[in-house]
Copies of this chain bind each other. A is one copy, B any other.
Amino acid sequence: MKKASGVRERIVDNSCRLFYEQGYLATGINQIIEEADIAKSSLYQHFKSKEDLLIEYLLVSNKEWFEGLYKLVGDEQDPKKNMLTLFDYRKQSAIKKQYKGCAFVRLAYELPNLEERAAELIRQYKSAVKSFISKQLSLIPQINADRQKELTEMIYTLYEGCGIESSLLKSTAPIERTRKIVSNLIA
């Protein structure tokens, strides 16, 4: 079908940017179409409602998050290094995103009565992050299955916690501290 105009792309890019920077409720359709420089009817041709834009936002955020992580991981094989890379990635993102925190948690907290489609995408994302942690641990020979399960939960909890702290204090220090703790846990 169409391909050249990039209208859909501009809608998605600007929606995602504004939803993240300002929050979902604080961002109006009119601002989106203005900054994307498209007509309102074009937006509603691609997305039937603002809620559909929200779903798109979650899908894009998920995709970009994992792409960014695996770009930083590169072809490194050492699971210990890769575990620490997760925290390096969190630190790098915190700076780039000006300490506004995880898009998924942000949304879950902004909309306490979130529709189920969106809530499910958030849970899926978090589950995938936990899988990454679990995967690395499984590749460390010294760690047995019981300890792996235990450490997965603990490291994931630390991962979430340092993200919050970093956002509230607008500082990477909590992430760096947590990275060191995790480093000791898997040493």
A107–B146 alpha-carbon span in the complex (Å): 37
**A165: which of B111, B156, B169 is its contact (CB, 8 Å)?**
B156
Contact B157 A111 (CB under 8 A): no
| Chain A contact residues: helix, strand, loop or mixed | helix
- The answer to whether the Cβ of A81 comes within 8 Å of any Cβ in the partner chain is no
Contact A162 B157 (CB under 8 A): yes
The residue in A113, A157, A162 that gathers the most chain B C-beta atoms within 10 A of its C-beta is A157
- The answer to whether the Cβ of A139 comes within 8 Å of any Cβ in the partner chain is no
- The answer to whether the Cβ of A50 comes within 8 Å of any Cβ in the partner chain is no
- The answer to whether the Cβ of A40 comes within 8 Å of any Cβ in the partner chain is no
Contacts A21-B112, A109-B109, A181-B154; is A164 near B161 (CB within 8 Å)? yes
Would you give 9 A-B contacts (Cβ < 8 Å), ordered by A?
A: A106-B110, A106-B112, A109-B109, A110-B110, A123-B168, A157-B158, A157-B174, A157-B178, A158-B158
Given contacts A25-B110, A105-B168, A153-B177, 10 further A-B contacts (CB under 8 A): A23-B112, A25-B26, A109-B109, A110-B110, A157-B162, A157-B165, A157-B177, A157-B178, A160-B161, A161-B162
Q: When A and B form their complex, which 8 residue pairs have the shortest distance between CB atoms, in order from nearest?
A: A161-B161, A157-B161, A160-B161, A109-B109, A110-B110, A25-B25, A160-B164, A106-B109
